[in-house]
Amino acid sequence: MRISLTKSIDFEAAHWLPTFPEGHKCRRLHGHSFKVDVVVEGEVDPDKGYLIDFGEIKVLTAPIVDALDHRLLNDIDGLENPTAEMLAKWIYDRLAPDLPILKLVRVCETCTSAAEYAGE
């Protein structure tokens, strides 16, 4: 049986978007309660009855949460322009080597705005 699972993580962070036009509200420093969905996909092991322990994903995401939580995202290497799109790719690139069944990373900046990255 092939299945997709989602593990959600969250963190609080500030950013400003340097490529937005002068005067745009997102160009000013502001913060979000970010929600990130880590989606994995694969075949369920019939002997175990599950794809992966959600706890394994939590362990893999813990260093990422630590690097982002209560930070100014613009100060983090690779996130100088920390749009939701760039943040999704940044997180994906850090998880993919240790999580080969990673399907996509979805970053929700607000309840109504999200970006997804599924690799190249």
| CATH number for 16 | 3.30.479.10
pTM of the model: 0.96
Helix (H, G, I), strand (E, B), or coil: what is residue 105?
Answer: strand
Confidence band, pLDDT 50/70/90 cuts, at residue 120 = confident
Q: What is the pLDDT of residues 80-117, one digit of tens each?
A: 999 999 999 999 999 999 999 999 999 999 999 999 99
Domains identified in the chain, total number? 1
Residues noted as catalytic: 26, 70, 109
Contacts of 109-116 with C-beta under 8 Å, sequence gap 24+, read 109/32, 109/34, 109/84, 110/32, 113/84, 114/84, 115/83, 115/84, 115/85, 115/87, 115/88, 116/88
Q: What is the pLDDT of residues 61-85, one digit of tens each?
A: 999 999 999 999 999 999 999 999 9
- For residue 80, give its domain range: 2-117
Q: What is the pLDDT of residues 10-28, one digit of tens each?
A: 999 999 999 999 999 999 9
